[in-house]
């Protein structure tokens, strides 16, 4: 485990810093609380009595790996990298909140040779993948709606891509001058397949709801819209649907029948909004 990433973590019991146990098998805090590292390489840092949150299933994570590895979201990764690198000194500690398999964070870290990263996600299946995403990153099973297992002011950048946003906790873990980079789907995201496949539609008021959750704690510092088209065959469409929230709402047989009615190749609009937020004080 990268000791700089460990230095950003806080014990979920007493919120004190961790040190690595002898041999690197786990962590121990100043109060003596110990956390073992899973054999797959990740840590589970949930508050006492907190049940593990419902995260992505193994099947959803496998679909995510397949879709991202095919490069369909490479433009999104590039946009994230530019947003992280822009604006002041190069960040040293990055937190990908709801970061799944760590795909985006790993590519950003490739351009930041002196930085370390942490992927926090509710899914243990995602964390298993994220633990192998990058040698300078640590994967943690955590609950975005609880106190994050991070020290105050530990992060230079927090990334949130299509994931929950806890404004108060993000503000707490950001350093002075630190920034949140948040990506949300636009109303026309995946527009060509939403109707034919019966997918969930993006709330047209999503931007306003995002601001309402963040503005008490963070200040907006700019936003940009990004659009591109991906040529997807039916298999790619199936993995795209399977890796997201749509997978929880569509019966497999219904989705399969809808996919059969699609053209063999579909031009699909990828439409996202990227916002930059800073600590309000």
Distance (Å, whole) CA 168 – CA 190? 31
For residue 19, the SS3 value is strand
Residue 201: pLDDT band by 50, 70, 90 thresholds? confident
Partnered with residue 180 across adjacent β-strands are: 158, 277
For residue 191, the SS3 value is helix
Mean pLDDT of the chain: 91
Is the pLDDT at 280 greater than 70? The verdict is: no
Is the pLDDT at 196 greater than 70? The verdict is: yes
Mean pLDDT of 256-263: 91
> Are 184 and 244 spatial neighbours (Cβ–Cβ below 8 Å)?
no
Share of residues in the chain with pLDDT > 70 (%): 96
Distance (Å, whole) CA 146 – CA 140? 14
| Span 14-29, pLDDT tens digits | 999 999 886 768 899 9
Mean pLDDT of 223-233: 95
> Are 197 and 241 spatial neighbours (Cβ–Cβ below 8 Å)?
yes
Cα 42 from chain centre: 15
pLDDT at 213 (0 to 100): 81
Distance (Å, whole) CA 275 – CA 224? 7
| CB-facing half-sphere around the CA of 164: CA atoms within 13 A | 16
pLDDT at 206 (0 to 100): 64
Is the pLDDT at 256 greater than 80? The verdict is: yes
Is the pLDDT at 114 greater than 90? The verdict is: yes
Q: Which residues contact 143 (CB under 8 A, 6 or more apart)?
A: 46, 47, 50, 52, 53, 122
> Are 110 and 82 spatial neighbours (Cβ–Cβ below 8 Å)?
no
Mean pLDDT of 94-106: 96
Is the pLDDT at 205 greater than 70? The verdict is: no
Structure tokens at 1: 């485990």
> Are 115 and 90 spatial neighbours (Cβ–Cβ below 8 Å)?
yes
Torsions phi, psi of 62, nearest 5? Answer: -60, -40
Q: Which of 163, 233, 251 is nearest to 193 (CA)?
A: 233
Distance (Å, whole) CA 100 – CA 239? 15
Least-confidence region, from 28-32, 102-106, 114-118, 170-174:
28-32
pLDDT at 254 (0 to 100): 87
Is the pLDDT at 203 greater than 80? The verdict is: no
Residue 110: pLDDT band by 50, 70, 90 thresholds? very high
Is the pLDDT at 108 greater than 90? The verdict is: yes
Least-confidence region, from 45-54, 106-115, 221-230:
45-54
Q: Which residues contact 130 (CB under 8 A, 6 or more apart)?
A: 42, 99, 100, 101, 102, 105, 119, 121, 137, 139
Q: Measure the N-to-C terminal CA separation of the chain; round to a whole number of Å.
A: 32
pLDDT at 121 (0 to 100): 96
Sheet with strand 137-141: strands edge to edge: 43-44, 137-141, 116-121, 93-97, 155-161, 174-185, 265-279, 218-233
| 116-121/93-97 β-pairing | parallel
| Span 129-170, pLDDT tens digits | 999 999 999 999 999 999 999 999 999 999 999 998 899 999
Mean pLDDT of 215-239: 93
Distance (Å, whole) CA 150 – CA 174? 10
Distance (Å, whole) CA 142 – CA 155? 16
Residue 215: pLDDT band by 50, 70, 90 thresholds? confident
């Amino acid at each position: 485990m990268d000791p700089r990433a460990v230095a950003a973590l806080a014990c979920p019991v007493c919120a004190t810093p961790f040190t690595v146990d002898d041999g690197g098998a786990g962590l121990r805090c100043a109060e003596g609380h110990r956390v073992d590292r899973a054999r797959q390489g990740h840590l589970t840092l949930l508050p006492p009595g907190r049940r593990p949150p419902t995260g992505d299933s193994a099947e959803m994570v496998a679909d995510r790996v397949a879709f991202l590895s095919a490069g369909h979201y490479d433009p999104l990764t590039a946009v994230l990298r530019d947003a992280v690198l822009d604006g002041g000194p190069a960040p040293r500690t990055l937190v990908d909140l709801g970061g799944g398999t760590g795909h985006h964070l790993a590519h950003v870290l490739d351009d930041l040779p002196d930085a370390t990263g942490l992927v926090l996600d509710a899914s243990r299946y995602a964390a298993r993948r994220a633990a192998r995403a990058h040698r300078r990153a640590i994967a943690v099973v955590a609950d975005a709606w609880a106190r994050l297992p991070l020290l105050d002011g530990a992060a230079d950048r927090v990334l949130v891509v299509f994931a929950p946003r806890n404004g108060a906790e993000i503000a707490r873990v950001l350093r002075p001058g630190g920034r949140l980079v948040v990506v949300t789907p636009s109303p026309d995201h995946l527009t060509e397949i939403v109707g034919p496949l019966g997918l969930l539609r993006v709330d047209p008021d999503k931007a306003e709801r995002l601001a309402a959750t963040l503005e008490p704690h963070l200040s907006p510092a700019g936003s940009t819209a990004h659009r591109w088209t991906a040529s997807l065959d039916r298999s790619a469409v199936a993995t795209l649907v399977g890796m997201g929230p749509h997978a929880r709402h569509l019966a497999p047989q219904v989705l399969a029948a809808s996919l059969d009615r699609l053209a063999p190749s579909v031009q699909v609009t990828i439409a996202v909004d990227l916002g930059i937020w800073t600590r309000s004080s």
